[in-house]
Amino acid sequence: MRIVLIGQAAFGEKVLQALIKGEEDIVGIYTPPDSLEKTDPLKQLALQLDIPTFQPERMRAPEGYREYVKLKPDLNLMAYVTSILPDSILKWPKLGTIQYHPSLLPKHRGGSAINWAIINGETKTGLTIFWPDKGIDTGPILLQKEVEISPDDTVGSLYFNKLFPLGIEAIAESIELIKKGIAPRIPQDESQATYEGLCTEKDSVIDWFQPVSKIYNLIRGTNPQPGAVTYLGGRRFKVFDSELLAGVGGGLPGEITDTTRQGFVVSAKDGAILIKRVQVKGSPKTAAAEFAAQINLQTGDRLGG
């Protein structure tokens, strides 16, 4: 089976490794154009393996399509794709196109599915391998895998420890089902569908008057991206690693009630948050205790957004 792999980053790289280990015939790789910071790891591996690699600005462009059809794939595999492919490419292979998505579709369609599941305080999520169509994450389902969202999971831990490795397994399983001609196409239940836009900094500003559990979910649901935003006077910074201190109070919402070697404690409506790691714009992430010392943070100081 001739496969075109469309993807990027570490996930795309590990998918390619799994496909090669499974002795699949990878006839082409598509990744986004190189950034200024570094070469995409999927591209690096593809070049090492001497697999034809393409980086078009837009796969919708006529020259991109002409380039693609020369590969004559039987199947497209989309592994971490952030753009919408044209129908002409989705439907070109005789076996179609399959795509990985980090939620239990039809819930959490969109590009920040992991963020919103945690921000909403959900206790389970999963991944879906589906047959994409013209919509955003709306095609029929091939298979799904469920995972637990632990109380202290962040976007990073949920993805890299659970959804990432399970996704590799699910893709391999899906390809075997396709080979055997028994891969299902289960329509999504539109009555259960949800869609959220990308989680950006405008969604991640902390309101210290919210219940402490909601604040904690927002912090871990934006860690490592885009980071939870708060302010001390006119100083803006982002909060990352933190710990929920349920039942610990004693201050006004946003008030600093303690500073420790681990960081600083901020009071909320019905508890407190121990902030362990922060970031000021233009600087690397730093330990919250170090940040507190640098700005002479005092108990009684108050955060607000």
What single string gives the DSSP state of each residue in 128-175? EEE---SSSS-SPEEEEEEEE--TT--HHHHIIIIIHHHHHHHHHHHH
Q: Is the pLDDT of residue 37 over 80?
A: no
Phi, psi for 228 (deg, rounded to 5) = -85, 130
Q: Is 106 helix (H, G, I), strand (E, B) or coil?
A: coil
What is the CATH architecture of 201-304? Roll (3.10)
Q: Is 65 helix (H, G, I), strand (E, B) or coil?
A: helix
- Helix axes 164-179 and 9-21, enclosed angle (nearest 10): 40
Prediction pTM value: 0.95
Average pLDDT over residues 4-12: 97
Q: Is the pLDDT of residue 247 over 90?
A: no
Chain centroid, CA 166 distance in Å:
14
CA 244/CA 263 separation, integer angstroms: 13
Q: Is the pLDDT of residue 246 over 90?
A: no
Q: Is the pLDDT of residue 294 over 90?
A: yes
Q: Provide the 10 A C-beta neighbour count for residue 303.
A: 23
DSSP per-residue letters across 258-292:
EE-SS-EEEEETTEEEEE-EEEETTS--EEHHHHH
Assign 190 a pLDDT band (cuts: 50, 70, 90): very high
Domains 2-192 and 201-304 share a fold: no
Average pLDDT over residues 230-258: 93
CA angle 141, 145, 149 (to 5 degrees): 125
Q: Is the pLDDT of residue 305 over 70?
A: no
Omega of the bond prior to 226 within 30 degrees of 0, cis? yes
Q: Is the pLDDT of residue 125 over 70?
A: yes
Q: Where are the domains of the chain?
A: 2-192, 201-304
Give the residue with greater pLDDT, 150 vs 57: 150
Q: Is the pLDDT of residue 249 over 80?
A: no
> Could you give the count of Cα atoms lying within 13 Å of 71 in the half-sphere of its Cβ?
28
CA 25/CA 34 separation, integer angstroms: 25
Query: Which residues, 6+ apart, have CB-to-CB distance to 65 below 8 Å?
Result: 59, 86, 88, 89
Beta strands, E only, 45-123 = 53-54, 75-79, 97-101
Average pLDDT over residues 248-274: 94
Q: Is the pLDDT of residue 60 over 90?
A: no
Average pLDDT over residues 15-37: 94
pLDDT in tens, 154-175: 999 999 999 999 999 999 999 9
CA 188/CA 137 separation, integer angstroms: 10
Q: Which CATH superfamily is domain 2-192 in?
A: Formyl transferase, N-terminal domain (3.40.50.170)
What percent of the chain lies above the pLDDT cut of 70?
100
